[in-house]
Amino acid sequence: MSGNAFFVDKPQDNWGLGYYHYNLSNSLQASVDSLPFDDKLENEQGLEMYYAYQAQPWLTFTLDAQYITSAISTQDNAFLVGLRTNIVL
């Protein structure tokens, strides 16, 4: 899901929100689980949201945040934040 600006005077801004879910097959999970390791394979899911602010017609800043639950049982969940700059000359 996405859309245009939250602010009337910033029509070039845009935002987005997304969700994913990897439903790994039961046979794949069972195969990995049978290996002699502590790691177990699970389904993975994540959520991402971003806002792109166009400061000038040639300069855009995008703030992005993601939350991911790992498919590997011994891995911690991750929360990531990023800032991207796009310059068009």
> What are the boundaries of each domain within the chain?
2-87
Run of H or E residues at 30: helix 26-33
Average pLDDT of the chain?
90
Tell me the average pLDDT across 48-72: 94
Second-level CATH architecture of 2-87: Single Sheet (2.20)
Sheet strand arrangement including 44-56: 2-4, 14-22, 44-56, 59-69, 78-87
pTM: 0.75
Q: What is the pLDDT of residue 72?
A: 86
Q: What is the pLDDT of residue 67?
A: 97
Terminal-residue alpha carbon distance, the chain? 29
Q: What is the pLDDT of residues 10-42, one digit of tens each?
A: 788 999 999 999 888 888 888 888 888 888 888
